Structure 1
Amino acid sequence: MQYVLFNPQAGNGSGAQQARALDARFPEETFSYTDMTTISDYAAWLGTLPVDASLIIAGGDGTLNRFLNDTNGMALPEQLYYFATGSGNDFLHDLGLEKGADPVPVAQHLRDLPTVTVNGKHWRFLNGIGYGIDGYCCEVGDALRGKSDKPVNYTAIAIKGLLFHFHPANAEVTVDGKTKRYRRVWLAPTMNGRFYGGGMMVTPDQHRGNAEGKVSVCVMHGSGKIKTLAVFPSIFKGGHVKHTEMVEILTGHDIEVRFDRPCALQIDGETIRNVTSYSVHAGVPARV
């Protein structure tokens, strides 16, 4: 028996159907499905599983984020797998896989994760923290999903935001005690992996589980609307980092980003509105 926790809201509402496709893919296996949105007590639910249970999490990046925070401090099965049924699947891309891949072992990736603190509350995160135009895109995307079941085009939201609706902020970025100040900051995400936003390679040299235990913050700053719009598409291949006059990447164990006005923030795709600052602590201390 293999146990499957699925998020019906993943994949623009196709999460249940995609998860149950495991039956046809592995006809020799028996699967027991549970809608994770019906679980109110994870400790009790996990306690019902056999000691040697094999558990598959089926959903997107937000599903994994919700699971790892809802089960924080609990003993999880060693046979823990992830089956991507989301729309962005940045975590899967970071592992070098594409949607449609067989369930992949993830227990090792859910340990020693970095934490972000926003308004006094703490979250662990898997991929990254978006702050700026990326947080704005998630905020607008959430609003659109509330009005229609059509897929959200985040690239279109970003372009319209850059041209008309989003206004950059001034920022202070502190990395391991050293502060730098930037004007006209368009985005300032802190990343545990390379990808976010459905395939944007915002920090090409950031690798989860790196030996130094560091995370990376990418600051896109100082440019006008037209130049920012011209450079922005290159973020999907990591080419934006070549524009050193407007993009700087800093790495460290403790990072704080502070804007001079409130802005939306996203944690693995989950939106928090009206945020003026966030701080990140890497999950693994520096090794010497």
Structure 2
Amino acid sequence: MASFPRRSRALPVDCVACRVSIEGLCGDCASEVRKVLAGYKSSDRTINAGEDLFRPAEPCAGLYHLVDGWVFLYSLIKNGRRQILHFVLPGALLGLYPGPVAVYGAEALTEATVCVIPHENLGPLIEEHPGIGLRLAWTVWRERNLAYDHLSSVGQRSARERVARSLLELYVRYRMTWPAYRSEEMHLPLTQEHIGDATGLTGIHVNRILRGLSNEKIVEFHYRRLRILNPDKLVDVAGIDPQTVLSWTGRHPSA
């Protein structure tokens, strides 16, 4: 198992101005709170697209705070297939396990940067600043709710509903990370294979559904660009209650 120092003392420059000072574990925190967090970090780490941050059943001794980039969480099935469990955006926490090994893997969709907090530092960190513990609990609650919704989607929704719901969720969550973002078009660094692995469908089936949504002037997805042409219709096709969509934009409590 990897070994980490008890605490790091240096305050990295990006801890004051990084993207997750707006959203994430240190979102909206006062500068002195971010300094406390930085003191418990061991390092920052950047991985390339296609690389694993950690793999299933391997040691994972740190909590990874995604600062920049896109990552997906996955499990491997005995027949060699991959199930994508969740797509994570900046502000997410990865590697918060009750045991010493990872129960799922994390692979970068784009170049991604994380800051690492050793698991052994979490207890002292929460004791020094209980508000961080509240943020951790809120983040786990949010990710759990998204996971439950994803599970019900794969198990109960039609193939068309699953694809529409996945596109809608990613679009809403992406806009949440950029409050000033107003365009109906976004860069979506996924392939049809990724969408298929997330929805339990083949790439051919995903392609057919995307063509249908495009022909109906609901969405366009090509060359990793997603354009929402009719948001209300997309919500209808996904079979999502508008209140559920609003829940994806929820913000964490202040610490």
Structure number having the greater helix percentage: 2
How high is the TM-score relative to the length of structure 2?
A: 0.28
Return the TM-score normalized by structure 1: 0.26
Identify the structure with the greater strand proportion: 1
